[in-house]
């Protein structure tokens, strides 16, 4: 049985057997709905469904919900059998607290009775997915942005940067902008999310974005309830906010300058190797025009060495930007489990949850 690879993000959980040149077999929402505890199922109770987010800003926050989600994924989704559980590799977000790592390995061995466990940091795995062991990842997730330099397969934590903003905050910004141009229409956040995914794109540069105020083609979009809204300049706002954080009300540098500043804290001997092997990850980074805008901003950066993006190998899944950490995990699983570099049940029984820090990171 192939080892399972799980990448649990704030918005989507990706899981599947470790087959590196294929996309994960399961991509499901991480968010869950729980029925009222009294078990009532009448019409009034449907509106009282409790929405639960097991993962918040990249980290597991609700362990009971995560246990339920993993039970569904492993036994229903991946076809594991009770009493014959296999090996599993988890992707690990940047700067995950030690307590979270320990609780995860404890959950997997004590509740799911797995035969082997491994975890590796998402930045390292995303580089593996494009055939690199050194470089820098810019990961724009649903709840956070991580910038992580990696040298010889090791994250340079002192130079890494984590920002508590992500796709959810960009969705809220889009909702505000759409309300300004459509003040009489009440648009739900779920509809805004769909609009973001359908229309958002990047302007060529800051000047081009400024020009959209007066010369942007207006499109009409029909909401599920039949109301019609107009979308013009708003479709460029989400992408622009990553290069002009002032649109989010933040006094901060744009994402390319943040990358350059992150690298500047590493030995200058490594600057070229890191910047010229930059990998973009996360759903937001896959929006039309984002890579081109990133490269254009890179050509204007203050750095002597300009950031350059690594292109994904042709044999990798088309949506590699979205699932690069999972693909890298599938590649690594093919090494660590056959070579017995993972945590075994005997290791866990002997040492306890703290074994995860010694064998995985």
Could you report the per-residue pLDDT of 201-227, keeping only the tens digit for each?
999 999 999 999 888 889 999 999 999
What pLDDT does 302 receive?
81
For the chain, percent of residues with pLDDT exceeding 70: 96
Residues written for the chain = 361
What pLDDT does 264 receive?
93
Q: Scanning the structure block, which residue is given the tokens 């797995």?
A: 114
What pLDDT does 62 receive?
97
CB 178 within 8 A of CB 195: yes
Tokens describing residue 275: 């910047």
What pLDDT does 44 receive?
52
Produce one character per residue of 184-197: b if its CB has 16 or more CB atoms within 10 Å, e if not.
eeebeeebbbebbe
- Domains defined for the chain, CATH in brackets: 4-121+321-360 (3.30.420.40), 167-245 (3.90.640.10)
Could you report the per-residue pLDDT of 11-57, keeping only the tens digit for each?
999 999 999 989 999 999 999 987 766 555 555 545 567 899 999 99
What pLDDT does 70 receive?
98
Q: For residues 309 and 283, what is the distance between their CA atoms, to the nearest angstrom?
A: 16
Burial of 299 (0-12, 13-18, 19+ CB in 10 A): exposed
Give the end-to-end CA distance of the chain in Å, rounded to a whole number.
Answer: 25
Note the pTM of the prediction, 2 decimals: 0.94
Q: Which residues pair with 151 in a beta bridge?
A: 154
What pLDDT does 361 receive?
79
DSSP category for residue 245 = G
What pLDDT does 74 receive?
98
For residue 60, is it left (φ>0), alpha (ψ between -120 and 50) or beta? beta
What pLDDT does 90 receive?
98
Produce one character per residue of 92-124: b if its CB has 16 or more CB atoms within 10 Å, e if not.
bbbbbeeeebbbbbebbbeebebbbbbbbbbbb
What pLDDT does 301 receive?
87
CB 332 within 8 A of CB 120: yes
- How do the pLDDT tens digits run along the chain, 361 residues long? 899 999 999 999 999 999 998 999 999 999 998 776 655 555 554 556 789 999 999 999 999 999 999 999 999 999 999 999 999 999 999 999 999 999 999 999 999 999 999 999 999 999 999 999 999 999 999 999 999 999 999 999 999 999 999 999 999 999 999 999 999 999 999 999 999 999 999 999 999 999 998 888 899 999 999 999 999 999 999 999 999 999 999 999 999 999 999 999 999 999 999 999 999 999 999 999 999 999 999 999 888 899 999 988 888 888 899 999 999 999 999 999 999 999 999 999 999 999 999 999 7
DSSP category for residue 266 = S
CB 337 within 8 A of CB 3: yes
């Amino acid at each position: 049985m192939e080892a399972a690879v799980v990448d649990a993000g704030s918005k989507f959980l990706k899981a599947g057997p470790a087959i590196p040149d294929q996309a994960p077999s399961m991509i499901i929402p991480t968010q869950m709905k729980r029925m009222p505890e009294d078990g009532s199922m009448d019409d009034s109770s449907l509106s009282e469904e409790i929405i639960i987010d097991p993962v918040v800003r990249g980290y597991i926050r609700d362990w009971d919900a995560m246990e339920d989600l993993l039970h569904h994924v492993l036994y229903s989704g991946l076809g594991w059998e009770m009493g014959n559980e296999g090996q599993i590799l988890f992707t690990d977000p940047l700067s995950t607290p030690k307590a979270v790592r320990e609780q995860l390995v404890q959950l997997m061995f004590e509740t799911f009775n797995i035969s082997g466990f491994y975890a590796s940091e998402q930045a390292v795995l995303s580089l593996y997915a494009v055939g690199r062991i050194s470089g820098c990842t810019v990961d724009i997730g649903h709840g956070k942005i991580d910038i992580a330099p990696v040298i010889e397969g090791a994250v340079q934590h002192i130079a890494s940067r984590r920002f508590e903003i992500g796709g959810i905050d960009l969705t809220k910004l889009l909702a505000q902008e759409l309300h300004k141009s459509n003040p009489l229409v009440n648009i739900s956040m779920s509809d805004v999310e769909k609009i973001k995914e359908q229309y958002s794109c990047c302007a060529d540069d800051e000047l081009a974005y400024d020009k959209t105020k007066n010369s942007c083609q207006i499109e009409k979009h029909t909401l599920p309830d039949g109301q019609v809204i107009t979308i013009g300049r708003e479709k460029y706002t989400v992408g622009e906010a990553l290069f002009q954080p002032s649109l989010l009300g933040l006094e901060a540098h744009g994402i390319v300058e943040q990358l350059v500043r992150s690298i500047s804290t590493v030995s200058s001997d490594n600057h070229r190797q890191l910047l010229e092997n930059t990998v973009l990850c996360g759903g937001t980074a896959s929006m039309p025009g984002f890579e081109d805008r990133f490269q254009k901003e890179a050509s204007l950066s203050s750095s002597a060495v300009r950031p350059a993006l690594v292109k994904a190998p042709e044999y990798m899944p088309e949506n590699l930007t979205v699932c690069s950490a999972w693909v890298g995990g599938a590649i690594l699983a093919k090494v660590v489990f056959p070579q017995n570099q993972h945590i075994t049940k005997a290791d866990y029984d002997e040492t306890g949850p703290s074994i995860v820090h010694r064998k995985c990171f």
